[in-house]
Chains A and B, each alone.
Chain A
């Protein structure tokens, strides 16, 4: 076999306990191929956030390895890793900390050393991809929640990441913003790992899902199959919204 690109994300045997002794992860194995969109499902307290913070080296020091596009996550290449792994946090007010949208989107690439026309170009492209090019000079707190979430995605896209990690992307969005965000995510050609409780959203966007429960990957398969497995769903406190039947949803 000639050089196939390494998977975007490769987690093997990852275990982690917080300093207070609480063990959050008990040996997680997860591989996400380049260009895949994968949903990470799991009840509250399953260790989803802990796993996400391992992906860009904010947490570490436990057992196991994380590789991003073949590059191991460790102290030496943390800057490179943070450029490759774009995390979109749940509250856009935490993510957007600069006085204007343009400066916020520019923050990541500028921290990586980009300047001048190249930086402007990067910012414009990223805002274009989320349909927010007309809002560059607005302060983030004057945007609607849905717009802020889209800008938050742009701040990460501007870093041209290998993998986009979204923490609860659909939370607090009204149905229209939710659909707009889905359209945007579907149009991107990057690897996506989406952490969510929103099972219909996972079905809509991600062909594959993994269930993280009690610190281990409890299931991994096509999203529709997992959602149709009532026993599995019940065992991991995952519930479909009232009246939603994954069997009757047409494939996209």
Chain B
């Protein structure tokens, strides 16, 4: 991962969506997801409308469909759960291709699948157009507790350092003829995990020392303040506003 300059979820670009301030995008995605989740599952066409809206955002951001679809694969475990529902749910049953399925289970599966996919797709678009660091600034701006933002930013900074340390320990183990095979070796792996924890903890202490030495007193100083104009908020609001319109039509019909 040494050469990459950004997270692999990010796709660099200079589209209007990329340029929006991160906190606007975060708020927009959150509002969009709330609208999607509150749509009654029977309004099937409304979900199609949401998908079209997201496709519009992807097109504006110049993110190819393949990029989004590949990253949607993360949803698979939930899909498996949704697929089970028609088989296990109670109630009225119906015949599909010779299988006896529960009607409420089918609706439930559709509900999970449609809402989940739309939510994940929206998040993929957010991550694809916003750098991790920007996301943190956005969260900070949205008044997420400072401690949580600090923890997240340290995770980003030290994730690679700790992974590297883990890799070196693994190489050292294997160089001395150890290969983890089966339960009997779990003890060794557990000790490695413990050692890694202690090393990380001690690094944390050293980092804290370095921070205190440069004047840290418990709160991070504001270095980059992200601001958004009215127009930018309006642009970001386009997605949830359109979704809300679709939702209201879906409810009244």
Contacts and interface: CB of A to CB of B under 8 A. Distances in A.
Contact of B215 (A96, A111, A140): A111
B222 A141 contact: no
A47 interface: no
Interface stretch (A32-40, A81-89, A202-210, A241-249): A81-89
B231 interface: no
B78 interface: no
Interface string A195-214: 00000000000000000000
A184 interface: no
A83 B207 contact: no
Contact of B209 (A58, A93, A103): A58
B133 interface: yes
B223 A106 contact: yes
B225 to A, nearest CB: 9
Contacts, number: 84
Interface string B211-231: 111111100011110000000
B210 A142 contact: no
Nearest to A141: B160
B244 to A, nearest CB: 34
A82 B212 contact: yes
A95 interface: yes
A156 B214 contact: yes
Determine the interface band of chain B, counting residues with CB < 8 A from chain A: 20 to 34
Interface stretch (B47-55, B68-76, B96-104, B151-159): B151-159
Interface string A135-163: 00011111000000000000110010000
Contacts of B157: 96-99, 139-141
B206 interface: yes
Interface string A218-242: 0000000000000000000000000
- Mostly, the B contact residues are helix
Contacts of B216: 107, 111
Interface residues of A, number: 36
Residue of A85, A97, A119 with most partner-chain B CB within 10 A: A97
B37 to A, nearest CB: 32
B153 A141 contact: no
Contacts of B5: 138-139, 142
A112 interface: yes
B213 A87 contact: yes
B136 A107 contact: no
Residue of A58, A99, A156 with most partner-chain B CB within 10 A: A99
B223 A89 contact: no
A158 to B, nearest CB: 9
B2 interface: yes
A137 B84 CA distance: 48
Given A99-B153, A141-B160, A142-B5, A107 B214 contact: yes
A94 B206 contact: yes
A216 to B, nearest CB: 25
B251 interface: no
Interface string A17-59: 0000000000000000000000000000000000001001010
Contacts of A56: 213
Contacts of A79: 215, 217
B238 interface: no
Contacts of B136: 99
Contacts of B223: 98, 103, 106-107, 110, 119
B203 interface: yes
14 contacts: A82-B213, A82-B214, A89-B210, A91-B206, A93-B203, A94-B210, A97-B157, A98-B157, A99-B157, A108-B214, A110-B222, A115-B222, A141-B161, A142-B3
Interface of A: 53, 56, 58, 79, 82-83, 85, 87, 89, 91, 93-100, 103, 106-108, 110-113, 115, 119, 138-142, 155-156, 159
Given A94-B210, A106-B223, A142-B5, 18 more contacts: A82-B214, A83-B215, A87-B213, A94-B203, A97-B211, A98-B153, A99-B156, A99-B157, A103-B224, A107-B211, A107-B214, A107-B223, A110-B221, A111-B215, A111-B217, A139-B5, A142-B4, A155-B214
